[in-house]
Amino acid sequence: MSKRFHIITYGCQMNVYDSRVVAEILRRQGWEEVDSPEVADVIMVNTCTVRAHAERRALGRLRGLVGLKKQRPVKVGVLGCMAQHLKEKVFELVPGLDFAVGPDGYERLPELIEAGGAYFPPLTHLYTGIHPQPDRPYSAFVTIMRGCDSFCTYCIVPYVRGRVRSRPVNDILKEIQGLLDRGIKEIILIGQNVNLYNYDGIDFTKLLDKVADMGIERIGFLTSHPKYFDMRVIEVIASHPNIIRELHLPVQAGSNKVLHRMNRGYTREEYLALIDRIREAIPDVALTTDIMVGFPGETEADFEATLELVKHVRFHYAYMFKYSMRPGTVASKWQDDVPETEKLRRLRQLIQLQNSITRERRLEMMGNTYEVLVERKSRKGDEYFGRTIQNIPVVIDGDVQPGDTVRVRIIKLVGCTPYGVVSG
C-alpha cells in the first residue's frame, strides 16, 4: 500500500501536540502526511473524551470515515483519550474500524496500521527524543509533562492519560531550540497541570525561567491549577517581558460546597486571594478560566455564588460548560440531579454574563496601542489576525505579514473582537 496519512484532531492543546507526535513517528517510517482524508490511505481520528458530546462527535465522524471503505481501499483508526476510555468496545461502536491506540501507544502505530487491532500500554510514556513539527508557521506547542494527579471527581483525564510524569529538561530545551531554528516566534508550554512539573529538582518556575532566556519572542503556558499555583511563577513572569501576560486559572465553581465535592483543593476565598496577589504583581495580566454548571448537588444558591465570583473577578474570557457525567469518575456514582433544562438555563445565563464582561474588557482597549504578533490572514476581508502580549485576539488593518510583530492602535470593536491599525 502507498503510505499517505491524514489526522483529524479533536480536543485540547495536548491532543494537537500528540497529533504532531504521531505525524513525526510516521514520517520517520517513510509515511507522507496529506491535507485531506479523500486522498489518504490511512485516516486517524485523535479523540477527546472529557465530555459526552466530544465522544459522540468523534464516534459519528469515525462511522462516516469507515463508510469511505465502500468507495476505495482505506484504513481508519482511532487514537487518544476516547480510545483509551472505550478500549476494545470502540470496535463494537464503530463496525469496520481497523485499529485503536491509546495516547501512550503511538510508537507501535506503523505495525498496527499494517496488522490492525488495539494497543493500550501502561500510561507511563514521555516520547523523549520525538520532536514534532509544529502545525502553525510561527507558533508551537511544547509538551513538558503528561498525565494528572488531581483526580477532580468529575474528570476522566487521570484515567485516560495516567499520572503526572515530567519530560527531561534537556529534551524540552532541545525541542525548543529546534523550533527557534525553524523560525518559530511563540512557544506555548503545555501540560494538564504545569505547576506540578519537576524533573531532577528543576520545577516549573526554574524551567520557565530557562526557556524565557532562550531568545524566544513570546512564551506562554497552559494549564495552571489554582491549588498548586506557585507565586514564584509571577516573579518570573514579571522579570521577563517575553512571557505572555495571560494566566488561565480554571475556577470551575464559585461555591465552596461544590468546589469541595469536585475535589478542587481550594476554597472560593483562597481563589480570590490568589487573583488579588496576581493582579497586584502584574497589573496588566489577562485572566481566563473554566467554569462548569449543573454539577451534582449544585443548588440555585451555589450557581448564584458562581455568578457573583464571575462578576467580582471579571475574567477576560471563560470556557463554560454544563456538567457531563463520565463513566469511571467518582462523580459518576452520584445522582446527576440537576435537570438538563436547568443545566442549559444556567449555562445560558453564565455565558450571557461573561460575554458582557468580555466585551467590557475589550472596550477598555479602545484607543490604546499594543504589540501584536501577526499570525495569519483574517478569514474575512484583507485584514490580518494576531494576538497581543495578553493573548487577546486582534484584527489588523495595515501593511503586515504573518510573523511580523507590530504596534497596533485599537480603533473599534466588532462584537467582542478589537480592530486596530498599524501605529508607528
Please indicate, yes or no, whether residues 101 and 198 belong to a single structural domain of this protein. Answer: no
Please indicate, yes or no, whether residues 251 and 396 belong to a single structural domain of this protein. Answer: no
Q: How many residues does the chain have?
A: 424
Write the CATH number for 385. 2.40.50.140
Query: Please, how many CA atoms are within 13 Å of residue 72, restricted to the half-sphere of its CB?
Result: 10
Please indicate, yes or no, whether residues 281 and 315 belong to a single structural domain of this protein. Answer: yes
* Helix/strand/coil for 325: coil
Please indicate, yes or no, whether residues 93 and 145 belong to a single structural domain of this protein. Answer: no
Residue 133 lies in a domain: no
Please indicate, yes or no, whether residues 143 and 260 belong to a single structural domain of this protein. Answer: yes
User: pLDDT value at position 329?
Assistant: 97
Please indicate, yes or no, whether residues 154 and 247 belong to a single structural domain of this protein. Answer: yes
Residue 129 lies in a domain: no
Element (H, E) at 219: strand 218-222
Please indicate, yes or no, whether residues 335 and 381 belong to a single structural domain of this protein. Answer: no
Q: What is the arithmetic mean of pLDDT over 25-38?
A: 95
For residue 251, name the pLDDT band (cuts at 50, 70, 90). very high
User: pLDDT value at position 136?
Assistant: 87
Domains held by the chain: number: 3
Query: What is the C-alpha separation between 265 and 276, in angstroms, rounded?
Result: 18
The residue written with cell numbers 465530555 in the block is: 51
User: pLDDT value at position 378?
Assistant: 81
Which has the closest alpha carbon to 272: 318, 314, 239?
314
Query: What is the C-alpha separation between 18 and 15, in angstroms, rounded?
Result: 5
Residue 373 lies in a domain: yes
Hey, how many other C-beta atoms are within 10 angstroms of the C-beta on 177? 14
Q: Of the residues 51, 85, 119, which one is the last residue of a structural domain?
A: 119
For the cut 70, the answer to whether the pLDDT of residue 149 exceeds it is yes
Q: Any idea of the CA torsion for 224, 14, 291, 271, to the nearest 10 degrees?
A: -10
Tens-digit pLDDT profile for residues 256-311: 999 999 999 999 999 999 999 999 999 999 999 999 999 999 999 999 999 999 99
Query: What is the C-alpha separation between 131 and 177, in angstroms, rounded?
Result: 11
Residue 330 lies in a domain: yes
- Contact (CB, 8 A) for 231 and 255: no
Angle ∠(49,55,56) on CA atoms, nearest 5: 165
How many percent of the chain have pLDDT more than 90?
Answer: 95
Please indicate, yes or no, whether residues 62 and 195 belong to a single structural domain of this protein. Answer: no
For the cut 90, the answer to whether the pLDDT of residue 231 exceeds it is yes
Q: Any idea of the CA torsion for 176, 179, 17, 63, to the nearest 10 degrees?
A: -170
Tens-digit pLDDT profile for residues 377-403: 887 778 999 999 999 999 998 889 999
Hey, how many other C-beta atoms are within 10 angstroms of the C-beta on 59? 18
State the residue range of the domain holding 395: 369-422
Query: What is the C-alpha separation between 265 and 149, in angstroms, rounded?
Result: 12
Query: What is the C-alpha separation between 61 and 45, in angstroms, rounded?
Result: 8
Residue 126 lies in a domain: no
* Cα→Cα distances 346→203, 213, 303, 327, Å: 39, 45, 8, 23
Please indicate, yes or no, whether residues 159 and 44 belong to a single structural domain of this protein. Answer: no
User: pLDDT value at position 10?
Assistant: 95
Residue 89 lies in a domain: yes
| Partners of residue 410 on adjacent β-strands | 420
For the cut 60, the answer to whether the pLDDT of residue 1 exceeds it is no
Which amino acid does the sequence have at 198? N
Please indicate, yes or no, whether residues 50 and 159 belong to a single structural domain of this protein. Answer: no
Give the chain's radius of gyration (CA, Å): 22
Tens-digit pLDDT profile for residues 154-180: 999 999 999 999 999 999 999 999 999
Write the CATH number for 80. 3.40.50.12160
User: pLDDT value at position 194?
Assistant: 97
Please indicate, yes or no, whether residues 15 and 94 belong to a single structural domain of this protein. Answer: yes
- Contact (CB, 8 A) for 277 and 249: no
For the cut 60, the answer to whether the pLDDT of residue 326 exceeds it is yes
- Contact (CB, 8 A) for 250 and 225: yes
Write the CATH number for 273. 3.80.30.20
For the cut 90, the answer to whether the pLDDT of residue 424 exceeds it is no
Please indicate, yes or no, whether residues 267 and 307 belong to a single structural domain of this protein. Answer: yes
Angle ∠(81,83,84) on CA atoms, nearest 5: 65
User: pLDDT value at position 320?
Assistant: 98
- Contact (CB, 8 A) for 143 and 191: yes
Strand order in the sheet with 246-248: 246-248, 286-293, 317-322
- Contact (CB, 8 A) for 161 and 103: yes
